[in-house]
Amino acid sequence: MENNNVKSVRLDQPQLRILIVGYNEFSQLVGSVLPEYVGEAQFKIVDSIVGSTKEIQQHISEFDPDVIVSAGSNARYLQSALSIPVVSMQTTEWDVFEAVEKASKVSKSIHIISFAEASCAAKLADSHLNIDIVESIYLTADQAREQFHIASQSEGIAVVGASLVCGLANSKGIPSFLIYTERSCRKTLQSAIDEAKKARLLAKEQALVSWLLTKSQTPIIMVDESDDALTLNSAAKHHLNLSTNAEVDLDALIHPRGGKRETDGECEINGEEWWFHLDTLSEGSTNKFVYQLYRKKLKKTPSKQAASPRHDLVYQSNEIEAVLQQVKAFSTSPSNVLLFGESGTGKELVARQIHHQGPYAGGKFVALNCSAIPSELFEGELFGHQDGAYTGSKRGGRKGLIEEAENGALFLDEISELALDQQAKLLRFLQERSYRPLGGNQEREVDLKLIAASNRSLSEMVNEGAFREDLYYRLNVFNISIPPLRERPDDILHIAAHKLEKLLNRYGVSHSPSTILEHLNDSFIAHNWPGNIRELENVLERVVAYLHTVNDLGRLQTALPQIAPELSGGRQPVLADKGIIKIKENELILAALARWKGDKRKAAQDLGISQTTLWRRLKTINHNNN
């Protein structure tokens, strides 16, 4: 369920920086349109014909541009010599025609000196304007000077070309007309801004990949579809204690039984037990499988916490106690159970309790989010397929979720999102308790516990014609309604304390959950929690991330409207002694230093400011804190 009351907070990034390199007339023309783009980027103009990278390197070091804009031979040289993206000024045939038309008013003999290739507009202008046109081509600045020297021997000519050519003509008193227009400048500047945004995004992605490979403490393993290539990050090599023959140690992940790769599960590596989560990355027609591993730890069982090997159901309220009494009664029956509750109330946790406490506990708990499966894939996902059932199907066939859940539990979350044709296929299975894989010709019987969940009223959907009535009655043998968090205030702080303990350990924050909650109690109890426990988890993580950056509980109450604006209805208060922008700036600086473990050079690069600026800001922060 989408929560429209939650406000997103965008952290402003440093402005894009664009360096413009060109000769006199070019620089003047670009400078004339720059005021239109002041809010979109910072610009610096360097008036120069570049002969070597040394001439431009100082400007690059000082300005640190995302993109360089230039033209003609300047642009071509910079593109070949620099790793920074270089956007070249592009001219159209109409630009050339306009320049020639202007030149024709002062001379009937016109010499066009063009970069790289001839212009079609020259021939058109020749016949249309009744003038004589000569066109020369150059690739380097020296060649442009040679072509101009030859052209300048003719009397009474006008020259059309780039800024270098126009500058040479002006020095000889020869009329000249710039081939670029304000129109081409605007188009080029917009292209440069777009390219700068791409460059920023790419740099962030590369920084993230580098961090995941070298700095992350979570072991990450990537294997390709054919199991031929294996990639490990530094944490995987260190924490998994792998031998030189890593494929043997990781056999359960790299070569899963039956070829089926579980998205979540358990594995043993070198005698140690791990949880894992799998993400699939698609690159064209091939897939790569990325595993994140988490060491299994024994957890203390809080008061009134239902026993579960992996998933905690933490509560203190009588309302959840009543839910668990229903779970205890309904789990012993093989009949279907229908759960109803708002998004984030913990329907899957309740479903796991039904599985754990019943006769099907020895089998797997298999979950499917019905809203995430396209209609054309639903039948194959649920029932599986035989070898060659359809073009592109996996060799050897594939087990469906029903077969995986045999003698266990199949949990169908958000069942209200199934299309009517999907509902019909599910209904037949519930009636017969048998299925036929795609491409198969034999029915297979199966015994399992089916648990469905919805955050919408299925009875109302039946009345509206959006849900099959016969399927509704098949599912609704037993039903459990899970109350939202706002209706069980006893649970809010109890769950918050449990979640906080985990988050504090993860972020390495030394405060205790009870100390932090003293500053949050009133706001938490007063809030309506439309996103329920999921929203509570998000707010708590933002609070802990803030304390990781600004380790001062005394400032938490003041900063709470910025950390979690939803707790105050999204209102941003006016701070008396410090502006919101200044506080956010200080927090970003401290967060960057924490990320880079006090390395001021890397922190400054991350923030997009100079080390001198960072040093000055830190001095101010320290002074204010003292």
Same domain as 598, residue 458: no
Any domain includes 3 = no
Report the 10 Å Cβ neighbour count for 497.
18
Q: Is 613 among the domain residues?
A: yes
Domain count, the chain: 5
Task: State whether 282 and 362 are in the same domain.
Answer: no
Q: Which two tokens stand for residue 423?
A: 């509902």
Nearest 5°: the CA angle 618, 624, 626 is: 105
* 3 state SS of 310: coil
Among the listed residues 476, 575, 529, the one whose alpha carbon sits nearest the alpha carbon of residue 342? 529
Please list, residue by residue across 305-318, b when 16 or more beta carbons sit within 10 angstroms of its beta carbon and e when fewer do.
bbeeeeebbbbbbe
**Residues 241 and 378 both lie in one domain:** no
Among the candidates 426, 458, 483, a domain finishes at 483
Q: How confident is the model at residue 13 (pLDDT cuts 50, 70, 90)?
A: low
Residue 413's pLDDT is 93
**Which of the listed residues 448, 483, 518 is the one where a domain comes to its end?**
483
Q: Is residue 240 part of a domain?
A: yes
In a domain, 433, yes or no: yes
Per-residue model confidence as pLDDT tens digits over 460-493: 999 999 999 999 999 998 999 999 999 999 999 9
Answer whether residue 137 is part of any domain. yes
405 pLDDT above the threshold of 70: yes
What CA–CA distance (Å, rounded) separates 557 from 547? 12
Do 620 and 501 lie in one domain? The reply is: yes
Q: Are residues 380 and 328 in the same domain?
A: yes
CA angle 260, 265, 266 (to 5 degrees): 115
- Domain holding 289: CATH number? 3.30.450.20
Together in a domain, 404 and 415: yes
Structural contact between residues 266 and 274, judged by C-beta atoms closer than 8 angstroms: yes
Residues 324, 395: one domain?
Answer: yes
**Integer Cα distance of 436 and 418 in angstroms:** 20
CA nearest to 141, candidates 254, 41, 255, 52: 52
Taking Cα atoms as reference points, which of 212, 242, 230 lies closest to residue 289? 230
User: Among the three residues 203, 238, 253, which one is the final residue of a domain in this structure?
Assistant: 203
CATH number at residue 424: 3.40.50.300
Rounded (10°) angle between helices 24-33 and 163-171: 120
Q: Is residue 549 part of a domain?
A: yes
Residues 237 and 357 in one domain: no
- What are the distances in angstroms from CA 624 to CA 438, 563, 621? 69, 21, 5
Tell me: do 193 and 246 sit in the same domain.
no
- State the pLDDT at residue 297: 53
Supply the CATH number for residue 198's domain: 3.40.50.2300
For residue 24, what pLDDT band results from cuts at 50, 70 and 90?
Answer: confident
- Domain co-membership, 77 together with 162: no
Q: Are residues 374 and 414 in the same domain?
A: yes
Q: Which amino acid is at 224?
A: D
Q: How confident is the model at residue 374 (pLDDT cuts 50, 70, 90)?
A: confident
Categorize the per-residue pLDDT at 155 as very low, low, confident or very high, splitting at 50, 70 and 90. confident
The three-state secondary structure class of 45 is strand
> Would you list the DSSP string of 439-486?
T--S-EE---EEEEEESS-HHHHHHHTSS-HHHHHHHTTEEEE---GG
499 CB-contact burial (10 Å; exposed 0-12 / middle 13-18 / buried 19+): buried
- Asked if 491 and 620 sit in the same domain, the reply is yes
First-to-final CA distance of the chain: 46
Question: CB within 8 A of 55, min separation 6: which ones?
Answer: 48
Residue 162 is assigned to a structural domain of this protein: yes
Q: Where are the alpha helices (DSSP H) in 84-221?
A: 93-103, 120-128, 141-151, 163-171, 182-214
pLDDT, position 305? 39
Domain range for 431 is 318-483
* Least confident segment among 25-34, 295-304, 583-592: 295-304
Residue 84's closest CA among 52, 110, 57?
Answer: 57
Q: What is the pLDDT of residue 584?
A: 64
% the chain with pLDDT above 90: 21
Residue 426 lies in a domain: yes
Dist CA 318 CA 338 (whole Å): 21
